[in-house]
Amino acid sequence: MKKSILIILTFAILVLSLWGCSSADEYEISRDNKDDRNVTYTHIHARLDFSPRSLSEMESDSDVIVLARVLPGSVSVLSTIEGMLIPMGATHTEIEVIQVFEGDVVAGEILLIAEAYFTVETPYEIQVFIYENYLPSMPGQEYIFFLTGRENTTGPFDHNVIYNLSGFVKGRFPVLNELIPGYSLSRSDAQALSIIDFTDADLRLSPGDSRTYRALFEEVVERYFGEINR
């Protein structure tokens, strides 16, 4: 096993504390357009035993590095912990591999990942609990994922392996076409763009301190975006 950031997603919680709840229309989740229930977001802060500070650290921690498209049909898997006021959990999401940079998987393969959020639904409200400032991946969106695999023992999906994001919330990077050299702009113009030109929402983050993530993203763009096959 790699350095264990699996701790929280397998519900063996280290230290968690709620640090904000808001009704946030600017955040998107995948749901029926006819669903008019109120959506509230609660942030959960987690102390981790591993948080990558560089791309090389994240690569070393990863079993698989892929470009993949997020599929619809994510399911939250919850676990009630004695003495806690809210359940803990993660969301299981399937992704379709488009391009493999590292790991024993192939293009077209469907992988199961555990995302750092979960939802609790009532007839009147959808409560979304997000770890740190991670926002749900959007179905149809392409991301570069840095993943660590483990045996899958919970949830409704029939996969022998489930993958956690390296660095817990840091191992997912949306493919922003404007940053792919030569995709829709001249190469010189494309290289002139930077992660600083994009909002937290563009990066699928809620407002917060995203400096470490953005620094990692700059390295990912330099290392991987030029290799994306289009």
pLDDT digits (tens, 9 = 90+) for 73-85: 999 998 776 766 6
Q: Is residue 110 part of a domain?
A: yes
Q: Is residue 206 part of a domain?
A: yes
pLDDT band at 15 (very low <50, low <70, confident <90, very high): very low
- How confident is the model at residue 52, as a pLDDT? 82
pLDDT band at 184 (very low <50, low <70, confident <90, very high): low
Instruction: Report the alpha-carbon distance of residue 61 to residue 59 in Å, rounded.
Output: 5
- How confident is the model at residue 197, as a pLDDT? 86
- What the block records as the tokens of 124 is 């009147």
Q: Is residue 160 part of a domain?
A: yes
C-beta contacts of 194-197 below 8 A and 24+ residues apart: 194/218, 195/221
Spatial strand order in the sheet of 117-121: 16-23, 38-46, 125-131, 117-121
Q: Is residue 140 part of a domain?
A: yes
Q: How many domains does the chain have?
A: 1
Instruction: Report the alpha-carbon distance of residue 19 to residue 129 in Å, rounded.
Output: 11
Q: What is the largest CA-CA distance in the chain?
A: 57
Q: Is residue 1 part of a domain?
A: no
Is the pTM higher than 0.85? no
| pLDDT-above-90 percentage for the chain | 47
Instruction: Report the alpha-carbon distance of residue 147 to residue 163 in Å, rounded.
Output: 6
Q: Is residue 147 part of a domain?
A: yes
pLDDT in tens, 32-49: 545 788 988 888 877 655
Q: Is residue 81 part of a domain?
A: yes
Q: Taking 80 as the threshold, does the pLDDT of residue 200 lie above it?
A: yes
Domain extent for 19: 6-227
pLDDT in tens, 122-158: 899 999 999 888 999 999 999 999 999 999 988 889 9
